[in-house]
Chain A
Amino acid sequence: MTNDALKAKITELLPATGFEEGGQWLNINVEPADWRLLAEQLRLDASLQFDYLFCLTCIDWKTHLTMVYHLDSTKFRHNIVIKAKLDVAKPAIETVSDIWRTADFHEREVYEMFGVDFINHPDLRLLILPDGWEGKRPMLKNFEDPVNMIRL
Chain B
Amino acid sequence: MVEEIGTTVEGDVLINVGPQHPATHGVLNLLLTINGETIKKVEPHLGFIHRSIEKMCESLTYRQFIYVTSRMDYLSAHINNHACALVVEKGLQVEIPSRAKVIRVLMDELTRIASHELWWGAMAMDLGAFTPFFHAFRERESINDIMEETCGARLTMNYIVPGGVMYDLHPDFQKRVKDFITLYKLKIHEYDEMVTGNIIFQNRMKGVGYLSAEDAISYGCTGPTARGSGVSCDIRKLYPYEVYDQLDFDEILETGCDSFARYMVRIREMNQSIRIIEQLIDTIPEGDFQAKTKAVLKLPKGEFYQRVETARGEFGVYIVSEGGNTPYRIKFRSPGFSNLSALDQMARGSKLGDLVAMMGTLDLVIPDIDR
Contact = CB atoms under 8 A, between A and B. Distances in A.
Contacts of A129: 47, 50
Contacts of B232: 74
Nearest to B305: A24
B231 A74 contact: yes
A59 interface: yes
Contact of A152 (B50, B56, B217, B337): B56
B180 to A, nearest CB: 33
Main secondary structure of the interface of B (DSSP, over half): mixed
Nearest to B90: A24
Contacts of A19: none
A70 B90 CA distance: 18
Contacts of A151: 55-56, 58-59
B8 to A, nearest CB: 17
A150 B52 contact: yes
A121 to B, nearest CB: 14
Interface string A119-152: 0000000011110000000110000000000111
B60 interface: yes
B220 A53 contact: yes
Given A24-B305, A101-B341, A127 B215 contact: no
A32 B62 CA distance: 33
Contacts of B47: 127-130
A102 B320 contact: no
Interface residues of B, number: 42
B57 to A, nearest CB: 9
A28 to B, nearest CB: 14
B302 interface: yes
A15 interface: no
Nearest to B55: A150
A52 B318 contact: no
B231 to A, nearest CB: 7
B331 A55 contact: yes
A152 B60 contact: yes
B215 A54 contact: no
A55 B238 contact: no
Main secondary structure of the interface of A (DSSP, over half): loop
Contacts of B333: 54-55
Contacts of A59: 320, 328-329
Contacts of B222: 54
B316 A55 contact: yes
B54 interface: yes
B309 to A, nearest CB: 13
B46 A128 contact: yes
Contact of A128 (B50, B316, B320, B329): B50
A51 interface: yes
Contacts of B217: 51-52, 74
Interface string B116-129: 00000000000000
B235 to A, nearest CB: 10
Nearest to B342: A101
Contacts of A54: 220, 222, 307, 314, 316, 333
Contacts of A57: 318, 329, 331
Given A70-B305, A139-B55, A150-B55, A60 B337 contact: no
The 7 closest A-B CB pairs, nearest first, are: A102-B220, A128-B47, A57-B331, A101-B218, A105-B341, A55-B333, A150-B55
Given A52-B217, A59-B320, A102-B341, 9 more contacts: A57-B331, A59-B329, A77-B238, A101-B219, A101-B345, A102-B220, A105-B340, A128-B370, A150-B55
18 contacts: A24-B304, A52-B217, A54-B220, A54-B333, A55-B316, A57-B318, A57-B329, A70-B316, A100-B220, A101-B215, A101-B342, A102-B218, A105-B338, A106-B337, A127-B47, A138-B55, A151-B56, A151-B59
